[in-house]
Amino acid sequence: KGLIPPGPLGTPKVALARARGHAVRAGGAMAPGDEGRTSHVMSVDAEEQSEKPEYTALSSADARGPLFAVATVGVFVVFMMATGSKAWNPTGYLGFASYALLYVVTIPAKEALNTALVFFAELLQLKRIDKGEGKVKKLEKLETIDYCYLGFNTLVEFVGMNHIIAFLLQGPVLTRLQQFSLTNGPIAFMLTMILNDVIYYPVHCVAHKRAFYPFCHKQHHRQFVPFRGYQDAANQHPFEQIYGFSIFLASCHISARLTGFHAGAAWVAFFAWAILNIANHLPFDSGVHLPLPYPAYPRDHQMHHRFSQCNYSTLTSMCDRLFGTFRAFRALDEPEPPEPPQLMWWEKLKDPANIEDENDEKEPPPMGRPDFCPSHWSVLWVTVCIFLSTCIIEWVRIGGFPDWHVYSIFAKAFIVMFNGGLLCYAVESACAQPVDVKGRSERLYTKPTMQQREERENKNLQEAVPQGLHKRFVGGKTVFKPSLKQAVESKPYKRE
């Protein structure tokens, strides 16, 4: 789409000249009155002989997405103005001047957070995954339409963050240190993150459907290999920002209703959700993830940008693996694996005597932590962050430090999380050892195959006659033997 193929007019340049209103005549003849436009008139025969047909790309932007974005922002602003200040200032703590000032401050603050993440990634010398000559190219330079989307989304993001902070400060969360427990702390944190992905997965799949893709999600996929971090993450339709914040808020409310939600765990969930959304669009194979089953990594989200029909989840790949949309990471310059040869039906048949154990042909499983198991470091860091956030909230609430015995409320959660991290470490250590795949012949109480039995019998047979001699049996048909076990004794003799 957007290309001019060579048609009956000859080359694309001729078709482009005709589309611009210039006269084209066979053999170089010009229409009357075209003498002043000689530079635009081309000969069909000369062009076809001198140049080969080629495709000329025309930059044509799809207007459906920008129009829908403008309509979304317009409806969003009208709705906030009609419903009063509670829609755009849910906490009620800020006046109009302080609200506008804080909005301006958040724009460079997000860029500062992005710069800090890049700094730590380069400090740790993490591997870059945006290098290589692949089939897809990254969007090196943002265009005007991209900056327009980023400008719209700064407003939507700021309103969304105000609603999340209103939930953290005034919502159904627990703030006292004595109210902390295992269920409303670490378990509520993991439940919120899993619910966020479970709700986000079908919405993301619908956004990729042909009927909805040009209106909304197409803008975000202009970048095939994300590397800017926040700018690539926020370069999307404002409607996506609205339902993204709404899904996270809904997950927080569901967790608060089911298990209770302590403010310490809620604040950690908010920052983890925001930072991972930026890390998923950075060019580093950081391996940062949450202590969830089948955790998702930034490299998995890059595969989604390169192949849009896979890896719809962002925090855990559990839904992708469940519905068969997961695709493992492959580097940009890594060649695609060859397809297995197509065999005819008679080539698939095997002689039962020559069937080998299928386990002998399988490659040993890769060493390292399995996909379903998170790292023990993720369990440790999340636990420490939740405990520290809970303590800070208590210190701010009472204006000082409580008695030391109050911190014993963390004992139960610490024991459970420590054992969970220890289990993850044990699994990772066990899977780091090389595994030998045993065949059927190496197992106990297994009947050998026909081929194995034949090889064993041939190996036990040994010739008893020295070289140069042969056997001669004494006796004949008249000699009677009671059984086959009493065979006729053979005597070697030399040939004459």
Q: Give 261: exposed, middle or buried? Use CB within 10 Å, 0-12, 13-18, 19+.
A: buried
Please give the distance of CA 351 from its chain centroid, rounded to a whole number. 43
Among 164, 145, 135, which Cα is nearest to 65's? 145
CA–CA dist 270, 14 (Å, integer): 58
Among 130, 433, 435, which Cα is nearest to 284's? 130
Please give the distance of CA 71 from its chain centroid, rounded to a whole number. 31
In the chain, what is the greatest distance between 2 CA atoms, to the nearest angstrom?
126
Produce one character per residue of 10-34: b if its CB has 16 or more CB atoms within 10 Å, e if not.
bbbbbbbbeeeebebeeeeeeeeee
Among 153, 161, 179, which Cα is nearest to 265's? 179
What is the 3-state secondary structure of the chain? CCEECCCCCCCHHHHHHHHCCCCCCHHHCCCCCCHHHHHHCCCHHHHHHHCCCCCEECCCCCCHHHHHHHHHHHHHHHHHHHHCHHHHCCCCCCCHHHHHHHHHHHHHHHHHHHHHHHHHHHHCCCCECCCCCCCCCCCCCCCHHHHHHHHHHHHHHHHHHHHHHHHHHHCCCECCHHHCCCHHHHHHHHHHHHHHHHHHHHHHHHHCCCCCHHHCCCCHHHCCCCCCCHHHHHCCCHHHHHHHHHHHHHHHHHHHHHCCCEHHHHHHHHHHHHHHHHHCCCCECCCCCCCCCCECCHHHHHHHHHCCCCCCCCCECHHHHHHCCCCCCCCCCCCCCCCCCCCCCHHHCCCHHHCCCHHHHCCCCCCCCCCCCCCHHHHHHHHHHHHHHHHHHHHHHHCCCCCHHHHHHHHHHHHHHHHHHHHHHHHHHHHCCCCCCCCHHHCCCCCCCHHHHHHHHHHHCCCCCCCCEEEEECCCCCCCCCCCCCCCCEEEEECC
**Tens of pLDDT, residue by residue, the chain (496 residues):** 344 444 444 444 444 444 444 434 333 334 444 444 444 333 334 343 334 333 333 344 577 888 888 888 888 888 877 877 778 888 888 888 999 999 999 999 999 999 999 999 999 999 998 887 656 678 888 888 899 999 989 999 999 999 999 999 998 999 999 999 999 999 999 999 999 999 999 999 999 999 999 888 999 999 899 999 999 999 999 999 999 999 999 999 999 999 999 999 999 999 999 999 999 999 999 889 999 999 999 999 999 999 889 999 999 999 999 999 999 998 888 877 788 788 888 777 766 555 555 545 556 666 778 899 999 999 999 999 999 999 999 999 999 888 888 999 999 999 999 999 999 999 999 888 776 655 544 555 567 777 777 777 766 665 555 555 555 555 555 544 455 555 555 556 555 5
Per-residue CA distances from 480 to 476, 489, 492 (Å)? 9, 13, 22
Six token digits for residue 87: 């829609």
CA–CA dist 322, 311 (Å, integer): 11
CA–CA dist 409, 416 (Å, integer): 13
Residue whose token pair is 């509520």: 188
CA–CA dist 240, 76 (Å, integer): 13
pLDDT digits (tens, 9 = 90+) for 220-273: 999 899 999 999 999 999 999 999 999 999 999 999 999 999 999 999 999 999
Q: Give 59: exposed, middle or buried? Use CB within 10 Å, 0-12, 13-18, 19+.
A: exposed
Q: Is 439 left (phi over 0), alpha (psi -120 to 50) or beta?
A: beta
Among 336, 329, 245, which Cα is nearest to 284's? 329
CB 139 within 8 A of CB 223: yes
Residues contacting 348, CB < 8 A, separation 6+? none
Q: Give 81: exposed, middle or buried? Use CB within 10 Å, 0-12, 13-18, 19+.
A: exposed
CB 30 within 8 A of CB 80: no
Please give the distance of CA 457 from its chain centroid, rounded to a whole number. 55
Residue whose token pair is 């000559």: 133
Residues contacting 290, CB < 8 A, separation 6+? 190, 193, 272, 276, 315, 316, 374, 378, 382
pLDDT digits (tens, 9 = 90+) for 50-75: 343 333 333 445 778 888 888 888 88
